[in-house]
Structure 1
């Protein structure tokens, strides 16, 4: 069997900015989680020791759980968390081998029902709590496609204590697989969410960010939004030309602080 590329075939990798987090001092690896409709692959990492550790669910980019997402999992583990990234497209194939983002949108994003994604995250959380995680300290974060799902999961799962959403879609017409978006669930959040967005993100209009901010203020649930004025989409993705080191570092610092302040 041919090995998957370490990152993704859909966009070029900029090796000079790639961050590689070593796994020394960590327990990490790949396994599967049983779901009602199949074995869900996950990548996990945690500090050595028995825990229980606070849990962070790391929700993939549009490209799936490739090496960048696995590295983010290890970064959280270095910070003291049991971090888990589930392969949420696993029933549809391997998105890392897709030739373009448009191919991924058509063959993966459009065919992954939100309800099934949220159910898979519930099963991942159950695995984490049974494998060294603290069910009383649960956070969720996601990037791009996963940024949108982060808001939905915070409105779905009452065990979540805090979320951080990185530049995911916020609004738009509903579809049978994706009937609602973050602006639609802003008043239903069960935990405060920090949203991190780029002022020059051509795929997420600032008008949508403003709509979300207004909805959050109206709901009064403690959630907030930060916009980095000159950042494009995917400014945290250190393997891509969109990477903006200063904004990425600030966002990571805010993420750890947000989780800490909200009991994760």
Structure 2
């Protein structure tokens, strides 16, 4: 093979690898297909007074898209990493970022499935989990969140005041990140799994690493969530306290999974509003 032909082949292979590695190079607009139809109770937060929109986060193997919202002007704001639901960074997660920015935070949600696929276009939840979500390595997610925090520090965020919150799939990640990053000040988990069957890509569950918690964590759970039994929530709380960690678990009676997802039938206004107030108080109490 000539040198020129070899160079062309290398370019083609490189381009093909790039397409495989980064399936998503920009965020979707609207809501994920698997969440349709969208509820009439959906909360929409405007961007008045905010600098809000898509950004690209430099990571070790390229760039991943993210949604960032922060107050316009002023001093560097405390950073809150917002970790997506199982459906990816769709409109609800963007709205969460705007809500946090209205409170004075630099809120950023990175598309953590960017290499594995576009979750927004999959209408069947089981297919979504098997074809995309199960293929996302925990190590990759934690690395991307570290990169997001580093980006925020260059973009108007105060990296010395770093918090994290996440929902559903992202709730589990909040636990893992609190067990990973010693610079974290506080975390708030919304119905994130605590135990489960480990896999090669997800080798540990939050309860396995509870002794490594670096930051106080508030857990918000539904008492009628079949996927996260209340006894596992209490088991995590007991293990954390035995390890000398600051953890508070709140279980809302007769409340389902995804009770903060105002765009879905699972939404429960009372627990959602109470959880939001508790989250704010938790962040304030721990330096955010």
Deviation at 1:4, TM superposition (A): 4.1
Which of 5, 9, 28 aligns to 2:52? It is 28
What residue number does 1:70 align with? 94
Which of 260, 263, 268 aligns to 1:236? It is 260
CA distance in 1, matches of 2:104, 2:29: 28
CA distance in 2, matches of 1:86, 1:161: 19
TM-score of the superposed pair, with normalisation by structure 1: 0.97
- Contact 1:11 1:100 (C-alpha < 8 Å) held by counterparts: no
Deviation at 1:50, TM superposition (A): 4.0
TM-score of the superposed pair, with normalisation by structure 2: 0.89
Q: Can you give the 5+ residue segments of structure 2 that lack an aligned partner in the other structure?
A: 1-26
1:128 aligns with 2:152: yes
- Contact 1:5 1:96 (C-alpha < 8 Å) held by counterparts: no
Deviation at 1:51, TM superposition (A): 2.3
Paired residue secondary structure (1:165): strand
1:111 aligns with 2:108: no
CA distance in 1, matches of 2:138, 2:28: 25
Which of 121, 127, 135 aligns to 1:97? It is 121
Paired residue secondary structure (2:68): strand
1:8 aligns with 2:7: no
Paired residue secondary structure (1:72): helix
What residue number does 2:219 align with? 195
Paired residue secondary structure (1:169): coil
CA distance in 2, matches of 1:15, 1:49: 34
What residue number does 2:282 align with? 258
Radius of gyration: which is bigger? Answer: 2
1:159 aligns with 2:178: no
1:249 aligns with 2:269: no
The count of corresponding residues between Structure 1 and Structure 2 is 262
What residue number does 1:83 align with? 107
- Contact 1:216 1:224 (C-alpha < 8 Å) held by counterparts: no
Moved over 4 A (4+): none
Deviation at 1:157, TM superposition (A): 0.7
Q: Can you give the 5+ residue segments of structure 1 that lack an aligned partner in the other structure?
A: none
CA distance in 1, matches of 2:196, 2:28: 33
After superposition, give the CA deviation of every residue in 1:135-188 in whole Å (9 maximum; x if it has no partner): 111100000000000000001011110000110111012111111111112111
Deviation at 1:15, TM superposition (A): 3.0
- Contact 1:7 1:13 (C-alpha < 8 Å) held by counterparts: no
What residue number does 1:44 align with? 68
CA distance in 2, matches of 1:53, 1:85: 16
Range moving further from structure 2, 130-139 or 71-80: 130-139
CA distance in 2, matches of 1:72, 1:11: 16
Which of 171, 178, 182 aligns to 2:206? It is 182
Deviation at 1:24, TM superposition (A): 0.3
